[in-house]
Structure 1
Amino acid sequence: MKKIKLAFVTQFPADTNLPLGGVEAVSLNLVRSLAAYPELDIQVITLCAGAAETSLESWNNTTIHRLPKPKGSELLNALSKSKVLISNYLLKLKPDIIHAHDTYGIMVNSLSIPKVFTVHGFIYGDTLFSNGSFKWLRSKLWEHFEKSSWAKLPNIISISPYVRERVSLFSPAAIYDIDNPISDHFFTLERKEKKGVIFTSAVICPRKNTLILVKAVAILVKAGYDVELRVAGSVSDERYAQEMSEWIAEHDLVKHIKLLGRISTQRVMEELQAAAVYALASFEENSPMGIEEAMAAGIPVVTSNRCGMPYMVRNNETGYLINPFDENNIADKFRRILDDDNLRLAMGEKAKELALDLYHSENVARRTYAVYRDLLDS
């Protein structure tokens, strides 16, 4: 069978044991499973901050091309320096098909090579919760260029019905529904649950809304519960992190809140083994990896009733949907799960069953490979 040269253009971790963010983790998991297809010649192209020159490395039957990332604005570079760099590199590489992710979709949209683009998030929405000046203006600029890019791309992979709903309003593209893959190891974790442990994995910033979880835990502690909220994630907003630390100290919660910082995938697995509940109260998410991983591990999920999260968690079946502005609502759902061993077990089992079909990397790779074949055969 003729080899298919696949250009997988994405954010890819410098350390495969420590991916930074959802796109890096997804790309790592998907490339690993796609490498099982002998007919695929996988070429990962990624931009690396701080790199002085282009470097090549071999990983898991895959070639990784690490290109120096231009300095400056992410948006401006996606439209200019980075776009030119990536486009020219791909023209020299001459792939049979391109699979672009995140901002790389903007960089490849003018190339006349068969391609598909996975929409991981809406940067214009995330920007409203970011640091810096002129957030509203920056959000509007991102919105214009993101939507313009969707309109130019002929094929899009949607990771959630929420993504499909928003993208289809502005794009005539053929849309394929394929969820994000997670590491297979999450499905085989041996549960070592510790009573009262609530785990969350997200960077500490206003969009992720970690402080509301702290406030919900404070309500439980006041009611006499012995609970511990364990927070895994780096700080992306120092002011917000300081506010949260001060709130923890003022309410005498230091022994009930553990800030773990950025941790490895292995550490995340260990935290999930011990957790009784997984929580994520974000204001804006498409299909967060943390929820997928918790479901695969068989853990009930408490998460926001907005954006892509309600498409992942079945309310009252695999967890609870909550109002991300209401700590009393969140505390009530924590209480229900922590108080009922049978409910906790049933929710976890149902979550794992759903995750196996939707998020197992082999299933995601099979569906993704089918898209490649469809585009090349048409």
Structure 2
Amino acid sequence: MKLFLVGDFPEDNKAYGGVQGVLVNMANELVKRADIELVLVSTSSNSGFAKFEKICSVYRLGFRSSFLQARKEFRDIVIKENPDIIHLQGVVPGVLLYRSSYKKIFVVTQHAILSEERLLQVTSKRKMLFRIKEVVEDYYLNKVKNIIFISEYNKGIYFKKNGKITDVNSELIVNPVNEIFFKKPQALESQVSNEMYFVGEIKKRKGLHVLIQALHLLDRKGIDCKLHVIGGYKEMEYKREIDDLIGSLNIAEKVIFCGWKNQSEVLAYAENIPVFVLPSFQETLPLSIAEAMTQGKIVVATDICGIPEMIKNHESGYLFPKGNPEKLADVLELVFQNQDKQKVVSDNAKSASKRFEPKTVIERTINFYERILS
């Protein structure tokens, strides 16, 4: 089977998570398969492909320069390579490559829920941009007939919006985690007490301000802990808000900003940090939670969207109401003050994370391809 894997690949495989991380994780597993002839197509001309160009065909499209030119280039590549399946990770902007002639073999994995993310943008310009993306996504997803959903959450939204469409061929398949996260983790009891970390783009939707407020509440209770923030800012307005908040609460020494790190760097940096926190206001099925679970971290996250599909509260992690720093502080206090009771939660997280193993995910994905071709 000749497979086109299409999306916004990172530069030189330096994936920082999200859709880029999924693309790299899938490619890592697919190149091992003798039954798959893999062709990687990036919607960014900056993608490095340093690892993959030695073992499979790779193409780069100047999508951001001109999507019309990119569409033409992509059509020429399709004619040249004649793929059995074209699989796009993420919808906008890559879905603009879609043509009706690809209809039977074109597969889309939907990740973001743009209608929800639009509401959480911090500027009018960003809200307008997301509205445009939302219109484009709605238009093309009604044309695409092979769709992979990564959670019941985004599957439910799609069918609520579109009704019971009988000619849509769909499957629910979770995102794969990079196999490096499945290496044997440090024992929980040997990790640094009262430390936690956050991974992701630093923007308002991710709720870092809620976590910082909770950290302050813990400090007022006399619970000494530290927060490591792994990631970079996407919204400068939000950076000013975070800087002002940390300054006003006088907790600068408790918050360590680590900058962007790729997957292997995150794994190494967080090796001795026992608690992962994601206080997001909206998520479909966050890869960062799955990565933390494979390492047996104590995951604390909001009880929104697809996250409860990943975590059973007080069994394989902890959930709290979005935007509520008091409840988050209560959960973290429970975790930090009862660390001897967390091994069961850690073991349950590792067990639950097996569904994210790349080999398992790729096997289910190929079964979906075969169903399409049959």
TM-score w.r.t. the length of structure 1 is 0.90
Distance 1:58 1:331 in 2: 44
Equivalent residue letter for 1:372: Y
Name the counterpart of 1:211. 209
Contact 2:118 2:131 in 1 (8 A): no
- Counterparts of 1:19-38 in structure 2, within 5 Å, are 19-38=15-34
Distance 2:122 2:75 in 1: 30
Distance 2:267 2:172 in 1: 27
Moved more, 138-147 or 286-295: 138-147
Establish whether residue 43 from structure 1 lines up as the match of residue 39 from structure 2.
yes
Contact 1:124 1:142 in 2 (8 A): no
Name the counterpart of 1:101. 89
Equivalent residue letter for 2:95: G
Establish whether residue 280 from structure 1 lines up as the match of residue 278 from structure 2.
yes
Contact 1:55 1:67 in 2 (8 A): no
Distance 1:315 1:56 in 2: 41
Name the counterpart of 1:63. 57
Establish whether residue 186 from structure 1 lines up as the match of residue 176 from structure 2.
no
Distance 2:116 2:80 in 1: 35
SS at match of 2:205: coil
Contact 1:5 1:40 in 2 (8 A): yes
Distance 1:111 1:193 in 2: 54
Establish whether residue 127 from structure 1 lines up as the match of residue 118 from structure 2.
yes
Moved more, 82-91 or 247-256: 82-91
Distance 1:225 1:160 in 2: 36
- Counterparts of 1:159-238 in structure 2, within 5 Å, are 159-169=150-160, 170=162, 172=165, 173-191=168-186, 192-238=190-236
Distance 1:109 1:309 in 2: 34
Name the counterpart of 1:92. 80
The one of 74, 88, 100 aligned to 1:110: 100
Paired residues in the alignment total: 364
* Structure 1 pair 210–372 and aligned structure 2 pair: CA distance change class (3 A): same
SS at match of 2:213: helix
Distance 1:9 1:20 in 2: 18
Equivalent residue letter for 1:364: V
**1:26-81 deviation per Cα after TM superposition (whole angstroms, max 9, x unaligned):** 01011111122112110010122568xx9998446322212223337xxxx4xx55
Q: CA deviation at 1:147?
A: 2.0
Equivalent residue letter for 1:201: V
Name the counterpart of 1:375. 372
- Counterparts of 1:263-274 in structure 2, within 5 Å, are 263-274=261-272
Distance 1:328 1:322 in 2: 10
Q: CA deviation at 1:109?
A: 5.0
- Counterparts of 1:298-337 in structure 2, within 5 Å, are 298-337=296-335
Contact 1:197 1:227 in 2 (8 A): yes
Distance 1:49 1:20 in 2: 18
Equivalent residue letter for 1:301: V
Name the counterpart of 2:292. 294
Equivalent residue letter for 2:181: F
Distance 1:131 1:333 in 2: 28
Contact 1:179 1:364 in 2 (8 A): yes
Establish whether residue 141 from structure 1 lines up as the match of residue 132 from structure 2.
yes
* Structure 1 pair 314–106 and aligned structure 2 pair: CA distance change class (3 A): farther
Matched-pair identity in %: 24
Contact 1:56 1:63 in 2 (8 A): no
The one of 244, 268, 283 aligned to 2:242: 244
Q: CA deviation at 1:307?
A: 1.3
Distance 2:122 2:336 in 1: 36
Distance 1:143 1:317 in 2: 36
Equivalent residue letter for 1:35: V
Distance 2:158 2:120 in 1: 21
Distance 1:326 1:272 in 2: 25
Distance 2:307 2:72 in 1: 35
Moved more, 183-192 or 86-95: 86-95
Contact 2:197 2:229 in 1 (8 A): yes
* Structure 1 pair 240–355 and aligned structure 2 pair: CA distance change class (3 A): same
Q: CA deviation at 1:245?
A: 1.5
Unaligned runs of 5+ in 2: none
Establish whether residue 362 from structure 1 lines up as the match of residue 367 from structure 2.
no
Q: CA deviation at 1:136?
A: 4.7
Equivalent residue letter for 1:370: N
The one of 151, 156, 169 aligned to 2:142: 151
Distance 2:127 2:327 in 1: 30
Establish whether residue 10 from structure 1 lines up as the match of residue 15 from structure 2.
no
Q: CA deviation at 1:187?
A: 1.7
Moved more, 210-219 or 42-51: 42-51
Contact 2:3 2:85 in 1 (8 A): yes
Contact 1:87 1:108 in 2 (8 A): no
TM-score w.r.t. the length of structure 2 is 0.90
